[in-house]
Structure 1
């Protein structure tokens, strides 16, 4: 009997050495989870029991438990290297056969699919092609779309600025106004006592004369200006410039040119045929507190996008209902300043990079400054993770003991977060494993000694005469 007991001890110690050696061998394996040998004693028993003074019959391997504790997160320079911080496994597919892993070595294949280093495709939620929203619950192969981003025509320009209330009318404007006003009054029935209607007509004549002096190429004809890039339907950039001219207390004119051209006629400001009286103009009225009271937004219509030679770009033309919103603009006694400017158009863009946030959203960055969500990485958890079946390649498959996978977006429920540009190290503690190695070696030697002693006793009995 002692031979069998010693033999069972040797087998158990050998298994312990194998498991510990495997842990040590994979101490540097990304996503590896260590295993632990669990032993139980053995007693001879019958249907009626083993008795109160039963002697043990050795040891057997009870189980090999997998320890799914968190490994250290190490950062890399690859945005598609992924680590799970918390609960959950990445889901990968090999022609429909699903496996689960914590090893986040991912890249792309020639078709743009996100794959691990064994060619298995990373699973996630796709994107609705119409709404751009994540299709929650619909699991698919994640893929990086390398196509160029479509351009978007500008439809709204939001600007917030301050016009200097201490500014006065430009001198050339004032001269033209005074001349026209005086001439109009001189034509009154009684120039010394013009009627209210005649004064109003003279003021209108003066305003028109002052506005006729506007010249975008001469900064002396306006008080301030600011520009912003806008885009046509083909993504061609154009420069919209707004010129501000003070014409009275709390009142301003805003002239608008695109690419230095009259919006309505397409005439360049430097062309002798340029007519400031036909240039698109908007009135700005402020109250005594310096707030803009003119209803917003203004609407620019009739713009025909032209290239640098004055030819149509081929984009949608004319562009109507282009909103210019100056809500929040003020007129205070401080220098002219643009505090914010936002417009919603952009040109086409090439893929510049990928980012994956802690919720698993796969976001593509483009050279035009835009971003687009291309999918979302999913994670899976199990009621009994220790019941998963190891498949090698640092992956596991579902088993009856593990239960069904619960798949969802990272950070939802009990699922952990995704760390992009990082990998999870093995959770093996080398110091602990080396000590286990020594203990297993001692156990092996001790059980071998049991067999050696039993052999000596048996030999003594055989030698009896």
Structure 2
């Protein structure tokens, strides 16, 4: 019994080491959210077992939960670098398969077609707005900046306000709103599925996305010219790394002790 209990302990410690290593590896990844390993006790007993004699048989990994606390904000100066100073996720859509993804990494740029995209080519999603920049509907669309305005003037720059309004500037001095950044929130963000590149997809555990404009309700405002860094605390992760290593060593020692006891029993002489 002790062999399998300690073997489970080794596997759990290895899982914890893997999660911590992943956190440390992404300490410089913009928009990354750290994870932690949570364990639960395993107990076996039947209806006929004396409750005072029920013996635990180890532990198992209960969940690998995500921590969505706000990471440090770094100033970059680029108008299309966005940080959310509060709750919410940027909403993007893949041009390849049309899948909607969510991210806290606000590093965007203009594509050759005028679309505002992330580093993977996913298009930032906007709400439609009127000429004054007021949101006129909740239907999401790709963020596309016209290369010329109605008067034929060339596009020269773009700015994004705290409330998410994307304004395009043109050579004739005019400024025209393109749309408003759509932020998403979830009842249970811990249920979001990680898909890499600091992106998540909605699942049944997270619940459906609720969309809103930055600065309204529970949605945080936007900070243009800044990026949210990873919320990984290296000092905390290194302490966890040492703890997981000690747990691994202790379980390995328990297996070694059980082996010695078994060997002693086998070698008994009558």
TM-score (norm 2): 0.94
Residue in structure 2 matched with residue 26 of structure 1 by the alignment: 26
Structure 2's unaligned 5+ residue stretches are: none
Choose the corresponding residue for 1:98, options 93, 97, 100.
100
Closer, same or farther in 2 for the Cα pair 1:50/1:112, shift >3 Å? farther
Structure 1's unaligned 5+ residue stretches are: 151-347
Separation in 1, partners of 2:51, 2:8: 22
Separation in 2, partners of 1:51, 1:109: 66
Separation in 2, partners of 1:431, 1:132: 44
Tell me if 1:115 matches 2:81.
no
| Contact in 1 for aligned 2:130/2:177 (Cα 8 Å) | no
Choose the corresponding residue for 1:384, options 188, 205, 211.
188
Q: CA deviation at 1:136?
A: 2.4
Residue in structure 2 matched with residue 45 of structure 1 by the alignment: 45
Choose the corresponding residue for 1:463, options 260, 267, 270.
267
Find runs of 4+ consecutive structure 1 residues off by over 6 angstroms: none
Q: CA deviation at 1:94?
A: 1.0
Closer, same or farther in 2 for the Cα pair 1:2/1:428, shift >3 Å? same
Pairing of 1:199-214 with structure 2 (within 5 A): none
Residue in structure 1 matched with residue 8 of structure 2 by the alignment: 8
- Residues 247-306 of structure 1: CA deviation (Å, up to 9, x unaligned): xxxxxxxxxxxxxxxxxxxxxxxxxxxxxxxxxxxxxxxxxxxxxxxxxxxxxxxxxxxx
| Contact in 1 for aligned 2:128/2:135 (Cα 8 Å) | yes
Q: CA deviation at 1:64?
A: 0.6
Q: CA deviation at 1:127?
A: 3.7
| Contact in 1 for aligned 2:153/2:171 (Cα 8 Å) | yes
| Contact in 1 for aligned 2:76/2:225 (Cα 8 Å) | yes
SS of residue paired to 2:27: coil
| Contact in 1 for aligned 2:133/2:165 (Cα 8 Å) | no
| Contact in 1 for aligned 2:133/2:179 (Cα 8 Å) | no
Separation in 2, partners of 1:149, 1:77: 29
| Contact in 2 for aligned 1:12/1:60 (Cα 8 Å) | yes
How many residue pairs match? The answer is 267
| Contact in 2 for aligned 1:149/1:350 (Cα 8 Å) | no
Q: CA deviation at 1:41?
A: 1.1
Tell me if 1:402 matches 2:206.
yes
Tell me if 1:444 matches 2:248.
yes
Q: CA deviation at 1:145?
A: 1.3
Choose the corresponding residue for 1:361, options 162, 165, 186.
165
Residue in structure 2 matched with residue 274 of structure 1 by the alignment: none
Q: CA deviation at 1:144?
A: 1.2
Q: CA deviation at 1:111?
A: 1.2
Separation in 2, partners of 1:369, 1:390: 43
Closer, same or farther in 2 for the Cα pair 1:461/1:27, shift >3 Å? same
Separation in 2, partners of 1:48, 1:378: 58
- Residues 186-233 of structure 1: CA deviation (Å, up to 9, x unaligned): xxxxxxxxxxxxxxxxxxxxxxxxxxxxxxxxxxxxxxxxxxxxxxxx
Residue in structure 2 matched with residue 423 of structure 1 by the alignment: 227
Separation in 2, partners of 1:461, 1:125: 74
Q: CA deviation at 1:371?
A: 1.5
Separation in 2, partners of 1:138, 1:49: 60
| Contact in 2 for aligned 1:126/1:142 (Cα 8 Å) | no
| Contact in 2 for aligned 1:44/1:50 (Cα 8 Å) | no
Taking only aligned residues, the RMSD between alpha carbons, in angstroms, comes to 1.7
| Contact in 2 for aligned 1:410/1:416 (Cα 8 Å) | yes
SS of residue paired to 1:396: strand
Separation in 2, partners of 1:50, 1:140: 63
Residue in structure 1 matched with residue 146 of structure 2 by the alignment: 145
Closer, same or farther in 2 for the Cα pair 1:132/1:61, shift >3 Å? closer
- Residues 145-180 of structure 1: CA deviation (Å, up to 9, x unaligned): 120452xxxxxxxxxxxxxxxxxxxxxxxxxxxxxx
Tell me if 1:83 matches 2:83.
yes
Tell me if 1:135 matches 2:136.
yes
The structure having more radius of gyration, on CA atoms, is: 1
Separation in 2, partners of 1:81, 1:50: 63
Separation in 2, partners of 1:399, 1:380: 14
Separation in 1, partners of 2:34, 2:257: 36
